[in-house]
A = this chain, B = another copy of it.
Amino acid sequence: MSKKLTTREIDYSKWYNELVVKAGLAENSGVRGCMVIKPYGYAIWEKMQAELDRMFKETGHENAYFPLFIPKSYLSKEAAHVEGFAKECAVVTHYRLKNAEDGSGIVVDPDAKLEEELIVRPTSETIIWDTYRKWIESYRDLPLLINQWANVVRWEMRTRLFLRTAEFLWQEGHTAHATKSEAIKESETILDVYAEFAENYMAMPVIKGLKTESERFAGAVETYCIEGLMQDGKALQAGTSHFLGQNFAKAFDVKFTSKEGKQEYVWATSWGVSTRLMGALVMTHSDDLGLVLPPNLAPIQVVIVPIHRTEEQLEQISEKAEEIVKKLRKKRISVKFDDRTAFKPGWKFAEYELKGVPLRIAMGPRDLENGTVEVARRDNLEKNIVSQEKIENYLEDTLEEIQQNLFDKALKYRENHITEVNTFEEFKDVLENTGGFVSAHWDGTIATEEKIKELTKATIRCVPLNNKIEEGKCVFTGAKSTQRVLFAKAY
C-alpha cells in the first residue's frame, strides 16, 4: 500500500479518509456504518480515556455500567427525547436463531419474538433514570455523580470514520442534584473539563458556548458545547454537557426528600465525548505527510531509527540507543527503538511521519563518532544535530515545545477564521471564501436559523459563553438583536 496521501488542497475529505486508514487508526468493517478501531488508533483513544477518566474522578465522579438495551417503552417516556432518538436506532426483536427447515442456513426463530422490543442504546438517559429512581430517596443520596464508558448505536445513513459512525465509543456522565443551581454548576464544571482536555491534551483550541434551541440535545433545557475549528474551515462539535432540568426526573418519577422534609423532583445533567474526538484530533493538526500527534496523546513520543550498513554498526548503535531508551523511560517518555532489519531507514522515516510520532531520532556511524544524534520534529519537520549528552532533557523540552506549538498554530488559525459580518452578502462571502466561524447578529428565531441553513448550509454552532452584549440587527431579517452568535459549516 502506497503511503502517499491525496493532498488536503486537492481533496480534504479524501485526504482525511486515506489518512485514517493508512496511519492505522481505523477502517470500515463488513457491518454497514460500523468501524474497526485498529491498534494504533485505539492506543490514542486509550490515552484520551485515561486523561478524561482521571479528570472525572478528580471532580468527584465514579464509573458504573448500565445495560446496552433499552426497552422501547422507556424511550417513549420523555417526549422530546423519543422524538430525537427513535428515528435512527437498532431494534432487537428476537432472541434466537434456528436452522431453516429447508436447510438453507440459519434464520430468525419466529417463536423467539420479544414481547417488547429492545433498542440498542443511542444514549442512556432513560435506562439510567429508571435506575436512579431506586437509588435516590433523600437529599443524603445526592449529588449522584456517575459516568459510564460504553458503546452506543445511532443508525446514521451517511457515515465517516470516527466523525459519524453507526456504533461509536464514548463516555456519558449522568448526574442527579438537589438543586437547579447545583446541576447547572455541574454542567459548567464538565464543560471546563472538556475544554481543558481539548486544549491541553489535544492541543485543540475550543470555544465554549450554548446551543440554540434547535441544536439542543433532545430532552435538555440547555446544551453547553465546545466547538473546534478544523483546517478546512469547518467547525466540529467536540463535546456537549446538558442541563436537563427536571425533565427526566419527571418522566421517570425520581423524587427525593429534601432537608426540609418535602418531596421534590431531582435536577439532572448529562454529558459526553466520543471517538469523534479522534477525527477532530486528526483534522486539527495533520498534514499531507500524515498524522501530526500532540505529544500528550502520542502512543509513541520518540522513535529511534538506526542507520547502518554492517551488523557491527547496528550493534554499536543499539548499545547507545538502549541507553537513551532507558533514560527516556525514566522520564515516562514513551519511546520505541526500531531495529527491524527487514525495513530500510527511509521506509521507517515515512512510516513514522505517517503515524505522527512527534520526535524521530536517527543514529548513524558518524553520530557515534561525534557523540551526536539527528533529531527530527514532526510538527515543523525541522532537523537538528544534538549532542547525546543530556539528550533526554532536550527531548523532554522539545516535546513540550511541540505540544505548545501545535496549540499556538491551531489557535492562530482559528483567530484568523472568526470573522464579524454585518450583512448577509458578507456572510455568504466569508463562508464561501474564508471559511471558519462567522460572527453575526441573529434575531433569535428558529425560522431564521433554518432559512440561513437552507441557503448556506451554515448552522449556529453556539452562543459563546460570556458573550459581549451589543445592539445590532439580524444579518438576515434585520430584526433587533442583542448579541452576535457563531455560524459555521460543520461536521
The answer to whether A39 and B67 touch (CB under 8 A), given A76-B106, A97-B87, is: no
The answer, among B31, B72, B127, for a CB contact under 8 Å with A67, is B31
Q: Would A31 and B151 count as touching, CB distance under 8 A?
A: no
**Which stretch in A112-120, A345-353, A359-367, A379-387 binds the other chain?**
A112-120
Is there an interface contact between A30 and B169, defined as CB atoms closer than 8 Å? no
Is A62 on the interface with B (CB-CB < 8 A)?
yes
Contact pick for A72, options B35, B46, B106, B117, CB 8 Å: B106
A120 touches B82 (CB 8 A): no
Majority-rule SS of A interface residues: mixed
Q: Is A37 close to B, CB under 8 A?
A: yes
- Counting every copy of the chain, the complex holds 2
Q: Which of B42, B140, B146, B153 contacts A68 (CB 8 A)?
A: B153
- A93 beta carbon closer than 8 Å to chain B: yes
Q: Given A29-B66, A67-B36, answer yes or no on A86-B72 (Cβ-Cβ < 8 Å).
A: no
On chain B, the residues within 8 Å of A127 by CB distance are 29-31
- A72: B residues at CB distance < 8 A: 97, 106
Asked if A92 and B95 make an inter-chain contact with CB atoms under 8 angstroms apart, the answer reads no
Say whether A342 faces chain B, with CB atoms less than 8 Å apart. yes
Q: Once the chains are docked, how many angstroms separate the CA of A62 from the CA of B38?
A: 9
Min distance, Cβ A111 to any Cβ of chain B, angstroms: 12
- Contact yes or no, A91 B98, CB < 8 A: no
Asked if A68 contacts B34 (CB within 8 A), the reply is: yes
Interface size class of A (residues with CB under 8 A): 35 or more
Contacting pair A140 B91 (CB below 8 A): no
Task: Judge whether B95 and A91 touch: CB under 8 Å.
Answer: yes
Residues of B within 8 A of A69 (CB): 31, 34, 90, 167
- A155: shortest Cβ distance to chain B, in Å? 4
Cβ of A214 within 8 Å of any chain B Cβ, yes or no, is no
Q: Does A130 contact B (CB under 8 A)?
A: yes
Q: A88 interface residue, CB < 8 Å from B?
A: yes
Q: Mark A148-159, 1 if CB is under 8 A from B, else 0.
A: 001101010000
A40's nearest neighbour on chain B, judged by CB, is B62
Q: Does A329 contact B (CB under 8 A)?
A: no
Partner of A70, one of B31, B169, B342: B31
Residues from chain B with a CB closer than 8 A to the CB of A150 are 151
Interchain Cβ contacts under 8 Å between A and B, 18 examples: A29-B127, A31-B67, A35-B67, A36-B66, A42-B63, A45-B65, A46-B63, A68-B167, A72-B106, A73-B105, A75-B97, A76-B106, A90-B92, A91-B108, A92-B93, A96-B155, A97-B119, A120-B120
17 new A-B contacts, CB < 8 A, other than A30-B131, A86-B106, are: A29-B67, A29-B130, A31-B69, A31-B70, A35-B67, A36-B66, A39-B64, A42-B65, A45-B65, A68-B120, A72-B97, A75-B97, A90-B95, A93-B93, A93-B108, A95-B155, A151-B151
